[in-house]
């Protein structure tokens, strides 16, 4: 909210308070086994003495004066003294190494330092200093300085981490601090009443220390200065605030979690009423735990957000026990008085509520700017019209009420224990170490809700890891020193020459101790040669002459082709190979070595056993799922239309081709009935898909009329007890064009089946035209064989891994919706909205996947996860991904329903950049694919999530990457083999036609259609939840994200 600029300063406010109540307690500090206290009058008396001494040095007004002291009441006196004299307060700490102190003094041009004995020793003659003895009580009183700071004067010079390797000095004005303090007084301090005890726990060099000190003193409170040992140990901290009856604490997010773990809120004896937190995303789970405790029910929690450039805080969110807490992290709330906050696009145009953009801050809280405004990285401050704003580099979104949500970073910045860290600064420091030639720093989760820094470096043999660590400790503050230093012969780079941070982050996260496995000593089987694997690559990918070092995915592979490769290896060598092995060893040489070095030698399954002749057969797990959904109202949602446009069609030849494929695939002549309470499938000896003809050659609008025919056919339900569960319509159009429409129920086909069916129908049609029999390969199994085998599998070994992976997963993903109600009579009503990315963007996304050594599917799943994170503010997102689940070589060419839904769990944290997210997504996807043979129904039954009316448990949001068309571009029998797989989709010069339908199977599904050129993205959405315009905004946001993450990728 905007307000007129303040006309006062915090110094004036604090002086007025001291004049009103000079004997009221101002500062409490426990040290040396004693409790030291200063009243407001005593505190300002010391400050006045220091101000007089500083003014006698002849320093010009606004010059920086550093304060380097231990964490005592003297430090508070020094802060007020420097600011009262009209100088800029530059906080330093004895925790800084001497080189860091030297750098900051040099950058700031500081000539005078106020220091105690510890500070004097740390200075080591670097600068002139005033010892704090000038503040001692036995010194004569000094009058209040004649200097009166103005709102436009510089109050403090605060250094933040800089991406160029040099810290950035931020010039904070008195007026900005006063605006902050007055705003907090209105919102936070006034309800507490006077003389509240506030704990000062922030490091004194942190901007929050300014806010806590000046807000408390200006409002007549008492500042309890928490010592270093107490502010780092949650139990000591709790004991101290209980002993001193603290009413308000202000702690960074990770420490709040530690306090809750240590029992905050359990003890009803605390005087605590307000908890202020920030610095990192605040988990709602931590807040719920605190507010639900006996002493937590009357607490108020404040989530504060803002960079130093906006004078500490710019927004706040008030939370109490009655506040709804959607999402996994708290929102940022609304702007503080005098501050403006909005969200803008890359052209600095405001985005609409709900859309994603960069958080920009303006108003009275803005700092003056940077000390060195012409340096790289100082472009955050800019002007719009006559107003200044600061571009935070944070991604955010405003809701309809103006509330702000934080959605991540645009750059590589991290937050570590509440500190803003630029990895470039640390990397540049490491590269200044003698003997280090290249270095990079990445951040990885530490498993406790915070972040670890890991340094990778290349160094001369004479330089050890410990040498580099010691150098870092001598140059950087403790929170910027990486926890691990890893020497490498070379660092990975992307094609454009940048260090590949995604690969390094993946490596850092995977660093685990190596445990010797005695099974590895077992005799190895006959070895598989890399050249044989390379030939199999050629067969699956349709390539020729790939070398043993060729990358499967860079050569055109993706998850479906990887599955074919695994099945081909299984069939040829009778060896079980996990799908993830192909991802982690993507070239023939590595893959052959990995297979040969497998710790456990498992024989691959032999052919599917032939089911005994029976009246009927059990349903596969996948069929059972579809049958249940059909009964729940999905009779129309699970009708699958296949529309192909081609030239003139011979009806008799088409009818014969349809008969051929129906005879070949028993799924096309199967019905479903209930017998003795169990659903069974019955395979009929004969059957035919009926073909009717509709002539629209003379229609006024033939296209519109043809689409209506398709919709009418799709809106005609199938009776699952009556085979066949398919229909065909031949639509005659003008200019000797035709549409062939096949409508099948999903329970007898899937996306993979459509490709098989269309290619075999094409081959049968051509053979019929020539009066011959089609040359189609023999099918090694029937669907009934698979169903019986599927139901007889032992799945017990799969459950523990899934149970561990999904432990604590949300029951469903709570999306922000337009409509909250739902109609059980209209369960599957929905719609689709689609958009085609241009060729350049599509190519860049594929290059990005290649650079990240993953599939385009993983890149898009990561993008979708990122979008959902920003829509929901959740950091635990479960997306269902349909997988072909052709888990046995014998079922590759069957028509039938095999699809399994894999819950892929992502943790897109606010500090995670996109390369990290892609690496994380690829790993999660690979892990899920490795165990795709465990049916989702078994997982749901095992986990027993809470059911929500009108939505699917666990996987109400779905993702599907559709690239079936090139799965059979070649065959493992050899490139160019004549196994009956034709090159065309169907008939001569045919093409698939997309007809949008008004159904939806899930709350929201993202389809990515990849036919090798421009990528088409499509959202299928539940019409009971979303307006079409909302989904259009999702499409636009997805494209913006795609362009942002590929901005530096060269196609």
pLDDT in tens, 393-416: 888 888 877 789 887 666 666 666
Shared-domain flag, residues 56 and 107: yes
CA distances from 715 to 202, 630, 638, 824, 993 (A): 64, 14, 10, 18, 18
Nearest to 399 by CA among 333, 358, 454, 353: 353
3 state SS of 1032: helix
Examine the domain organization and report whether 684 and 538 are in the same domain: no
Is the pLDDT confidence value at 820 over 70?
A: no
**Planar angle of CA 1043, 1047, 1048, nearest 5 degrees:** 155
How does residue 633 score in pLDDT terms, banded at 50, 70 and 90? Answer: low
When mean pLDDT is compared over 628-632, 775-779, 795-799, the highest value belongs to 775-779
Phi-psi region of 686 (alpha: psi -120 to 50; beta: other; left: phi over 0): beta
**How many structural domains are present in the chain?**
5
> For residue 603, what pLDDT is reported?
45
Determine, yes or no, domain membership for 975: no
Residue-wise pLDDT for 1011-1036, tens only, equals 777 899 999 998 888 899 999 999 99
Tell me: pLDDT of 204 over 90: yes
Query: How many whole angstroms separate alpha carbon 219 and alpha carbon 189?
Result: 7
Q: Are residues 547 and 631 in the same domain?
A: no
Half-sphere exposure of 238 (CA within 13 A, CB side): 18
Q: Is the residue at 273 inside a domain?
A: no
Mean pLDDT score, 718-732: 93
* pLDDT tier for residue 328 given thresholds of 50, 70 and 90: low
Beta bridge partners of 186: none
Q: Please name the residue that has the structure tokens 């290619």.
A: 759
* Domain-located, residue 365: no
SS3 content of the chain, % helix, strand, coil (to 5): 35, 25, 40
Q: What is the CATH number of the domain that holds 88?
A: 3.40.50.980
Q: Are residues 770 and 877 in the same domain?
A: no
> Is 487 within the bounds of a domain?
yes
Assign 521 a pLDDT band (cuts: 50, 70, 90). very low
Contact call for residues 635 and 672 (beta carbons, < 8 A): no
Same domain, 887 and 1002: yes
DSSP 142-177: -PPPS----TTSEEEEEEE--TTSSPEEEEEEHHHH
d(CA 102, CA 104): 6
CATH code of residue 553 = 1.10.1200.10
Handedness of CA 235, 236, 237, 240 (dihedral sign): positive
Q: Give CA–CA dist 443/215, Å, rounded.
A: 34
As given in the structure block, the two tokens for residue 231 are 């502010």
- Mean pLDDT is lowest, of 139-148, 175-184, 515-524, 527-536, for 515-524
Mean pLDDT of 8-32: 93
Q: Residues 772, 631: one domain?
A: yes
Phi first, then psi, for residue 818 (nearest 5°) are: -85, -30
Ramachandran area for residue 275 (φ above 0: left; ψ -120 to 50: alpha; else beta): beta
Average pLDDT over residues 873-877: 89
Q: Which residues on neighbouring strands pair with residue 170, listed in sequence order?
A: 158, 370
Contact 89, 156 (CB under 8 A): yes
Q: Which range is least confidently modeled, 291-295, 680-684, 968-972?
A: 968-972
Q: Model confidence at 990, in pLDDT bands (50, 70, 90)?
A: very low
Cα 579 to Cα 529, 569, 574, 618, 718, distances in angstroms: 19, 11, 15, 28, 36
Both tokens assigned to 397: 């979104």
Q: What is the pLDDT of residue 524?
A: 32
Calculate the average pLDDT of the chain.
82
DSSP 8-class letter at 395? E
Ramachandran bin of 125, using left for φ above 0, alpha for ψ from -120 to 50, beta for the remaining angles: left
Contact (CB, 8 A) for 282 and 303: yes
Do 732 and 879 reside in the same domain of the chain?
Answer: no
If asked whether residues 446 and 474 sit together in one domain, one would say: yes
pLDDT digit string, tens, across residues 749-772: 988 888 888 889 888 988 888 888
Nearest to 170 by CA among 378, 418, 8: 378
Banded pLDDT at 517 (limits 50, 70, 90)? very low
Provide the β-strand partners of residue 274: 248, 300
- In a domain, residue 392? The reply is no
Domain span at 909 = 809-964+995-1045
- Which among 542, 567, 596 is the end of a domain? 596
pLDDT higher than threshold 70 for residue 601: no
Helix (H, G, I), strand (E, B) or coil at 812: coil
- In this structure, are residues 724 and 718 in contact, taking their beta carbons and an 8 Å threshold? no
Same domain, 652 and 575: no
With a pLDDT cut of 70, the percent of the chain lying above it is 84
Q: pLDDT tier at 37 (50, 70, 90 boundaries)?
A: very high
Residue 451 near residue 482, CB atoms below 8 Å: no
Burial of 22 (0-12, 13-18, 19+ CB in 10 A): middle
Q: Is residue 190 part of a domain?
A: no
Assess whether 719 and 585 both reside in one domain.
no
Dump pLDDT digits (tens) for 792-818. Answer: 887 766 667 777 788 888 878 888 888
Joined together, the tokens standing for residue 916 give: 């990290």
How do strand 414-416 and strand 419-421 relate by DSSP bridges? antiparallel
Does the pTM surpass 0.75? The reply is no
Q: Which two tokens stand for residue 781?
A: 């199994």
More confident residue, 355 or 976: 355
Together in a domain, 1025 and 882: yes
What CATH number is attached to the domain comprising 684?
3.30.559.10
The average pLDDT across 519-538 equals: 64
283's CB contacts (< 8 A; 6+ apart) are 253, 257, 328, 329, 449, 875
Spell out the long-range contacts of 1033-1037 with Cβ–Cβ below 8 A and sequence spacing 24 or more.
1033/352, 1033/354, 1033/355, 1034/867, 1034/871, 1035/833, 1035/834, 1035/835, 1036/355, 1036/835, 1037/355, 1037/356, 1037/867, 1037/870
Q: Which one, of 542, 444, 341, lies nearest residue 974 by Cα? A: 542
Secondary structure class of 499 (helix, strand, coil)? strand
Name the least confident of 674-688, 791-805, 985-999.
985-999
H/E stretch holding 800 reads helix 799-805
Contact status, residue 143 vs residue 101, Cβ threshold 8 Å: no
Confidence label for 969 from pLDDT (cuts 50, 70 and 90): very low
pLDDT at 993: 54
What's the confidence (pLDDT) of residue 602? 45
Stretch 866-889: mean pLDDT: 87
Residue 417: pLDDT band with limits 50, 70, 90? low
CA end-to-end distance (rounded Å), the chain = 44
Residues 640, 769 within the same domain:
yes
Evaluate whether residue 393 is within a structural domain. Answer: no
Per residue in 48-105, pLDDT (tens digit) is 999 999 998 889 999 999 999 999 999 999 999 999 999 999 999 988 888 888 889 9
Those residues whose C-beta lies under 8 Å from the C-beta of residue 425, and which sit 6 or more positions away, are 161, 162, 163, 164, 165, 166, 167, 480
Higher pLDDT, 597 or 776: 776
Question: Contact at 8 Å (CB) between 356 and 395?
Answer: yes
Does residue 904 lie within any of the structural domains?
yes
Q: What is the pLDDT of residue 85?
A: 94
Domain-terminating residue out of 110, 136, 162: 136
pLDDT of residue 617: 94
User: Where is the domain boundary, 502, 536, 553?
Assistant: 502
Q: Which helix (H) or strand (E) holds 573?
A: helix 559-573
- Predicted confidence at residue 982, as pLDDT, reads 29
CATH of the domain at 437: 3.30.300.30
Torsion angle, CA of 711/715/719/722, rounded to 10 degrees? -20
CATH number at residue 950: 3.30.559.30
Evaluate if residue 525 carries a pLDDT over 50: no
Integer Cα distance of 590 and 594 in angstroms: 6
Q: Tell me, what DSSP letter sits at residue 333?
A: B
Of the given ranges (306-310, 489-493, 1033-1037), which has the lowest mean pLDDT?
489-493
């Amino acid at each position: 909210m905007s307000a007129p600029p303040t006309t006062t300063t915090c110094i004036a406010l604090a002086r007025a308070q001291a004049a009103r109540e000079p004997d009221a307690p101002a500062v409490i500090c426990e040290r040396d086994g004693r409790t030291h206290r200063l009243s407001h009058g005593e505190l300002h008396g010391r400050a006045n003495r220091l101000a007089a001494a500083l003014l006698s040095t002849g320093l010009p007004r606004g010059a920086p004066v550093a304060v380097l002291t231990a964490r005592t009441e003297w430090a508070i006196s020094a802060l007020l003294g420097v600011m009262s004299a009209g100088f800029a307060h530059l906080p330093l700490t004895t925790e800084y190494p001497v080189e860091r102190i030297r750098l900051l003094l040099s950058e700031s041009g500081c000539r005078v330092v106020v220091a105690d004995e510890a500070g004097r020793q740390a200075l080591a003659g670097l600068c002139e200093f005033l010892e704090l003895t000038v503040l001692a009580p036995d010194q004569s009183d000094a009058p209040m300085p004649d200097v009166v700071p103005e709102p436009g004067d510089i109050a403090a010079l605060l250094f933040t981490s800089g991406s160029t390797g040099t810290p950035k000095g931020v010039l904070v004005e008195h007026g900005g601090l006063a605006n902050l303090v007055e705003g907090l007084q209105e919102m936070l301090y006034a309800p507490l009443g006077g003389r509240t005890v506030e704990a000062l726990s922030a490091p004194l060099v942190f901007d929050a220390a300014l806010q806590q000190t000046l807000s408390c003193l200006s409002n007549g409170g008492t500042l309890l200065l928490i010592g270093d040992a107490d502010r780092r140990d949650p139990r000591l901290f709790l004991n101290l605030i209980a002993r001193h009856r603290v009413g308000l604490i202000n702690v960074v997010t990770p420490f709040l979690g530690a306090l809750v773990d240590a029992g905050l809120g359990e003890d009803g004896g605390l005087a605590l009423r307000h908890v202020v937190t920030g610095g990192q995303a605040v988990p709602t789970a931590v807040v719920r735990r605190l507010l639900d405790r006996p002493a937590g029910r009357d607490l108020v929690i404040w989530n504060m957000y803002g960079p130093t450039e906006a004078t500490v805080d710019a927004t706040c969110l008030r939370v109490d026990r009655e506040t709804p807490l959607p999402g996994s992290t708290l929102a940022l709330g609304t702007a503080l008085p005098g501050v403006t906050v909005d969200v803008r696009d890359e052209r600095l145009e405001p985005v609409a509520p709900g859309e994603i953009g960069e958080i920009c801050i303006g108003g009275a809280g803005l700092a003056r700017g940077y000390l060195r405004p012409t340096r790289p990285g100082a472009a955050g401050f800019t002007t719009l019209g006559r107003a200044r704003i600061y571009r935070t580099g944070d991604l955010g979104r405003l809701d309809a009420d103006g509330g702000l949500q934080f959605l991540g970073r645009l750059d590589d910045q991290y937050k570590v224990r509440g500190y803003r860290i630029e990895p470039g600064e640390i990397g540049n420091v490491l590269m200044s170490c003698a003997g280090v030639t290249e270095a990079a720093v990445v951040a990885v989760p530490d498993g406790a809700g915070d972040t670890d820094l890991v340094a990778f470096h290349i160094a001369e043999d004479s330089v050890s890891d410990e040498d580099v660590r010691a150098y870092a400790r001598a140059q950087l503050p403790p929170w910027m020193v990486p926890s691990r230093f890893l020497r490498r012969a070379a660092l990975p780079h992307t094609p454009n020459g940048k260090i590949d941070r995604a690969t390094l982050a993946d490596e850092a996260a995977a660093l685990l101790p190596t445990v010797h496995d005695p099974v590895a000593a077992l005799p190895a089987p006959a070895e598989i040669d890399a050249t044989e694997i390379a030939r199999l690559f050629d067969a699956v990918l349709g390539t020729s002459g790939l070398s043993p070092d060729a990358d499967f995915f860079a050569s055109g592979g993706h998850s479906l082709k990887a599955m074919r490769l695994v099945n081909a290896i299984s069939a040829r060598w009778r060896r079980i190979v996990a799908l993830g092995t192909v991802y982690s060893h993507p070239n023939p040489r590595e893959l052959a070595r990995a297979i040969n070095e497998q710790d456990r030698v498992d024989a691959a399954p032999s052919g599917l056993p032939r089911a005994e002749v029976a009246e009927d057969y059990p349903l596969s797990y996948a069929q059972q799922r579809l049958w249940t959904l059909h009964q729940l109202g999905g009779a129309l949602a699970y009708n699958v239309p296949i529309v192909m446009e081609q030239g003139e069609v011979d009806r008799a030849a088409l009818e014969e081709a349809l008969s051929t494929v129906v005879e070949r695939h028993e799924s096309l002549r199967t019905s479903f009935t209930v017998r003795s309470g169990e659903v069974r499938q019955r395979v009929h000896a004969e059957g035919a898909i009926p073909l009717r003809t509709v002539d629209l050659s003379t229609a006024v609008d033939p296209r519109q009329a043809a689409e209506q025919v398709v919709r009418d056919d799709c809106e005609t339900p199938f009776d699952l007890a009556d085979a066949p569960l398919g229909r065909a319509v031949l639509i005659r159009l003008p200019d000797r064009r035709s549409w062939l429409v096949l409508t099948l129920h999903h329970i007898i086909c899937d996306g993979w089946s459509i490709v098989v069916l269309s290619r075999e129908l094409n081959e049968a049609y051509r053979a019929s035209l020539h009066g011959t029999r089609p040359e189609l390969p023999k099918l090694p199994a029937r669907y009934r064989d698979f169903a019986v085998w599927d139901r007889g599998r032992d799945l017990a070994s799969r459950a523990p891994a899934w149970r561990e992976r999904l432990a604590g997963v949300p029951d469903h993903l709570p999306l922000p919706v337009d409509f909250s109600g739902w109609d059980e009579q209209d369960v599957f009503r929905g719609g689709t909205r689609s958009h085609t990315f241009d060729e350049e963007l599509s190519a860049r996304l594929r290059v990005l996947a290649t650079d990240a050594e993953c599939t385009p599917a993983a890149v898009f799943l990561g993008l979708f996860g990122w979008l959902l994170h920003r829509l929901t503010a959740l950091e635990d997102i479960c997306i269902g991904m349909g997988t072909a689940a052709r888990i046995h070589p014998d079922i590759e060419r069957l028509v039938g329903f095999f699809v399994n839904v894999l819950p892929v769990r992502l943790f897109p944290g606010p500090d995670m950049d996109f390369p990290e997210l892609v690496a994380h997504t690829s790993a999660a996807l690979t892990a899920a694919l490795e165990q795709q043979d465990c049916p989702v129904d078994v997982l749901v039954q095992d986990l027993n999530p809470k059911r929500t009316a009108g939505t699917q448990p666990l996987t109400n949001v779905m993702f599907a990457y559709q690239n079936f068309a090139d799965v059979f571009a070649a065959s493992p029998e050899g490139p160019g083999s004549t196994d009956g797989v034709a090159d065309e989709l169907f008939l001569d010069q045919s093409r698939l036609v997309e007809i949008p339908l008004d159904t939806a199977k899930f709350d929201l599904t993202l389809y990515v259609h990849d036919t090798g050129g421009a990528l088409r993205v499509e959202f299928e959405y539940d019409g009971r939840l979303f307006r079409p315009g909302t989904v259009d905004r999702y499409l636009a946001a997805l494209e913006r994200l795609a362009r942002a993450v590929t901005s530096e990728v060269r196609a």
